[in-house]
Amino acid sequence: MNTSLETYILSTVLPLYDGFDAAHRRDHAEAVIEQSRYLAQFYPVNLDMVYTIAAYHDVGLQVDRKTHHLESGKAMRADAELRQWFSEEDIEIMAQAVEDHRASSDHEPRSIYGKIVAEADRLIDASTILRRTVQYGLEHSPELDREGQIRRALDHLQEKYAEGGYLKLWIPESPNAERLRQLWQLIADKSTLTRLVNNVYDEEKRREAIVLRYLDDHSILYEVYHHPEGKSIEQAKRWWHDDGSIHCKNLFFRNHKGNQHYLVCFHCDYDLDIHDLEQRLKTSLQAAGKPSCGKLSFASAERMNRYLGLEPGSVSPFGLINDSEHHVHLFLDENLRDVDSLSFHPNDCRATVVISQNAFQQYLASVGNTFEYISLY
């Protein structure tokens, strides 16, 4: 892997996903990259091209959802920086690949590169698919009542994922083949599918209630207000109140072995370089006599759900409520230590909780996870 290309992708391309909907955040792009690399081992392909295609495949969402695959191709052709590493012929192959990746495409991908990214983008996991289907309806059709949301989700699952649906698989070595057959069986069982979709809907609607009940049960004072979805800092800023609190950005990481996870919290107006953050966390952990974090990467949506009970776009320290085994270690920027009040999503990006410094310290003590303040920038 060309290290300068990887640095460019990490610093310039992947951050674009931070502003997309919950089903297409950075964790989704990283998962497609990982799966693309796995599938590439079966074919004589250029791994740098495979990596770059996977990184670019959904960037067109910043222009238009319906034609995002075409917009992604335009973005790739227009990126002059890519000429440092690829020929014009390579770039055209990659642009065609991202154009061909969409599940609803009416034609077979034009190259093996297109088939790899199309297949890698089919992350067929029944629980993830059900949750993202419900999330999409809540985010894009908020006018629908419960019955309408459930009907929309069931119709979409039938149209895309049922036997005979428009989703097509292109790589026989993909583990998706057996997973898709299992999903066909689930969708054919209408009673079970309806029950599961209703359960997911209820879970999505009750995350805030769990946080507020926890704070009330522990006599932790707070204020809460509601607003349209703020799936990114830029979007959320439109709805935040000018109440003097410090609004926070929260990122969830894993180490290279996948056996340690870290929640990092800092002022929303700052950005962090992952390589610099890695060194700072290593230094702090070693000074405390704890195992080094090793190489950091963003944790997947599956890991986020497993350890924090959350989905991308709703991460906050309140997710620690769901970490009953205290697996996640919390890093807070030292500049947050002395502010009067802080604000976070209550595990739902349609609301904001404002909490005083004293109340926040009370919360950290009650939840029981290890935490530390550290200089992050």
Give domain limits for the chain.
3-120, 126-199, 220-374
Mean pLDDT over 43-68 rounds to: 94
The Cα–Cα gap between 148 and 137 comes to 9
pLDDT at residue 289 in the model: 78
Domain at 3-120: CATH code: 1.10.3210.10
Mean pLDDT over 224-236 rounds to: 78
pLDDT at residue 318 in the model: 95
pLDDT grade, residue 87 (50/70/90)?
very high
- Kindly tell me if the per-residue pLDDT of 46 is higher than 80: yes
Asked if 79 and 64 count as a contact pair (C-beta separation under 8 A), the reply is: no
The Cα–Cα gap between 95 and 76 comes to 6
**Residues found in the chain:** 377
User: pLDDT tens digits, residue range 99-121?
Assistant: 998 866 668 899 999 999 999 98
β-strands 328-333, 341-344 pairing: unpaired
Q: Of 7-11, 184-188, 277-281, give the lowest mean pLDDT range.
A: 277-281
Nearest in space to 160 (alpha carbons), one of 148, 149, 152, 170: 152
Beta strand extents in the chain (DSSP E only)? 223-226, 246-254, 261-267, 297-298, 328-333, 341-344, 351-356, 371-374
- Across 10-14, 17-21, 167-171, 229-233, which has the greatest mean pLDDT? 10-14
Mean pLDDT over 282-291 rounds to: 79
pLDDT at residue 38 in the model: 93
Domain at 220-374: CATH code: 3.90.960.10
- Across 235-244, 295-304, 334-343, which has the greatest mean pLDDT? 334-343
Mean pLDDT over 333-357 rounds to: 92
pLDDT at residue 190 in the model: 96
pLDDT at residue 195 in the model: 96
Q: Quick one: CA dihedral 31, 23, 111, 63, positive or negative?
A: negative
pTM confidence score: 0.51
Mean pLDDT over 16-39 rounds to: 86
